[in-house]
Copies of this chain bind each other. A is one copy, B any other.
């Protein structure tokens, strides 16, 4: 759990960094063998591409850089539980271990309470992929990152 907290705090720092660049406050990273091998921030505003969520950027860059075996062995950490688009991308990338700070439920409650969603856990269950999904971790700190959203 202590190691989870260390990586989650790094994700929150990436989220705040994204926000300070005018992007949406989300950050993610990939850990293999206890080491961070890739980090990513949301770049929606900078890239003028509403799909460039932190997790999408992370898995695209990771899939370019590492083997399928490495991705399968890795853990994806993220400041907020992945949306349906990113969950699809994570699944396609063959990553099935996810640790998040803010739950999607808490995120939706904060920004758009009227929205419905499908959790990443349910999506992985429906796709019959044996996933390990852990969270929320340090959710109060994670939610604090949203104060930097411009």
What are the residues of chain B within 8 A of A126 when measuring CB–CB?
116, 118
Q: Find residues 44-99 in chain A having any chain B CB closer than 8 Å to their own CB.
A: 48-51, 56, 59-60, 63-64, 83-89, 91-93
Number of identical monomers bound together in the oligomeric complex: 2
Contact of A111 with B by CB under 8 A: no
Q: Is the CB of A93 within 8 A of B50?
A: yes
Residue of B nearest to A114 (CB): B128
Q: Contact check: which of B51, B116, B123 meets A89 at CB < 8 Å? A: B51
What are the residues of chain B within 8 A of A110 when measuring CB–CB?
none
Q: A59 to B52: give the CA distance in the assembly, Å.
A: 12
Residues of A at the B interface (CB closer than 8 Å) are 48-51, 56, 59-60, 63-64, 83-89, 91-93, 115-118, 123, 126-128
